Amino acid sequence: RKKYGSSVCAMEVVYNVTQKPYIDEEVAKLLQLKAKLGGDDGKIQFVLKTPKGTRDYNPKQMAIREKVFNTIVHCFKRHGAETIDTPVFELKETLTGKYGEDSKLIYDLKDQGGELLSLRYDLTVPFARYLAMNKITNIKRYHIAKVYRRDNPAMTRGRYREFYQCDFDIAGQYDAMIPDAECLKIVYEILSELDLGDFRIKVNDRRILDGMFAVCGVPDDKFRTICSTVDKLDKMPWEEVKKEMVNEKGLSEEAADQIGEYVSMQGGMDLAERLLQDPKMSQSKQACAGLTDVKLLFSYLQLFQITDKVVFDLSLARGLDYYTGVIYEALLTQAGVAPVVAEAQNGAPGSTEESVSVGSVAGGGRYDGLVGMFDPKGRKVPCVGVSIGIERIFSIMEQKAEACAEKIRTTEVQIMVASAQKNLLEERLRLVTELWNAGRGAVQKNPKLLSQLQHCEESGIPLVAILGEQELKDGVVKLRVVATREEVDISRGELVEEIKKRTL
């Protein structure tokens, strides 16, 4: 130090400055480890959180959820569907190779007694396995259950790793496009009844996409991977999608530009008619078959009176490998009526600005070959279905309830049994038992009468049965209407009927 003097001191300062962030980081890690192992008193400190991509639901959120489920189930039943259930996990081989590039999102479980298992990714593949295993060739079914995806969650947008799907599917031989049109009608009914705001339903056909890829010069072995890239047009601008096609997927720039011309097209039955006359598309038998079916589909949609919300959109791809025909997706829009019948004008695909999408809330399509993949003899069962994106709908419904400060009832209690005196517990219990036995929702509490009345106002309980010494002597109950504060004496024997009248 004497020999080199200030140079050594300067080096020490530089060393301390450069090492400080590293030291701080290591200290933070040690403190975190200490918290996990236990504090100074030796108690284990738990990290209280839900796993990434999951959430808890409080009573108000569950009430909203139940309301949404009831609306959806009622619609499914109105269309003649019956319900089934399947295991939450399947043999790994059942799920492998059905989801294209999304297969990497499947949760694999550890070896369990010689069986390789995975958590179900959706409800469609288990349904196809169920049909093949039970030799069922005709069924209209709905299924509401949780599925699991090892995705990067965006929970504010209703994207999770564990979430519910609500599926409606029609399996069996029917006249062309009638089941497909009914699935779109169901989406229309559910979104209209839930009153989520303006929406549009995009429609396309896998055969049209494959025919388009063929006439644009996409090699056969790149169809599925290019389809997965096109499927990103609702999240990325065309230039980025094109860049991925050319730089990552190895497609020629000329082929990508031709695809770009087609996927910018939107319309209705008129667009299908025009594409049937298109010099390139008319060369593909696949594309022509798909376009003919889209024309037929729109004729049924007109009969179902829902064409105001449906658009034929060539950019819709849906990346799952099992789709074989018509595909569709419903999107909510933030402002204005979505441009569902006009052609996109003067813009690259994905650049229209008439309305802003807030995300997909339903999707589905035709998958005629999936059941045959499980059947030992390869027997096919034509299937078409739709899945309602329930978590995203929940997120929107919750936001709406918060925004308008809506009071949400979390119980079905019709009447609170209360008393002004503390020594009437047994009488309250007798009365609440009578009400339960008569099938009425009732509760009783002991705090001050004013507190009980405030609780009824806050929780939406419409009636209060007040007991006191005088009421017991007279054989009556003082019935109070919470909303109007009206009070009336009702004989004990007539109380149940009076509650029925007032809570219809």
Known binding-site residue numbers for L-histidine: 122-124, 149, 165, 169, 318, 322-323
Cβ(309)–Cβ(198) below 8 Å? no
Cα separation, 223 vs 321, in Å, equals: 10
Q: In what order do the strands lie in the sheet with 442-444?
A: 442-444, 415-419, 463-467, 476-481, 487-491
Cα separation, 140 vs 76, in Å, equals: 9
What six digits make up the tokens of 38? 């236990």
DSSP for 64-80? HHHHHHHHHHHHHHHTT
Cβ-count burial of 463 within 10 angstroms (0-12 exposed, 13-18 middle, 19+ buried)?
A: buried
DSSP for 395-407? HHHHHHHHHTT--
DSSP for 167-230? EEEEES--STTHHHHHHHHHHHHHHHHHT---EEEEEEEHHHHHHHHHHTT--GGGHHHHHHHH
Scored b (16 or more CB within 10 A) or e, 411-428 reads eebbbbbbbeeeebeebb
Element at 140 (helix H, strand E): strand 139-148
The upper half-sphere exposure of residue 230, i.e. CA atoms within 13 Å in the direction of its Cβ, equals: 31
Which residues sit in the known binding site?
122-124, 149, 165, 169, 318, 322-323
Cβ-count burial of 105 within 10 angstroms (0-12 exposed, 13-18 middle, 19+ buried)?
A: middle
Question: Phi/psi at 58 (nearest 5 deg)?
Answer: -80, 170
SS3 310: strand
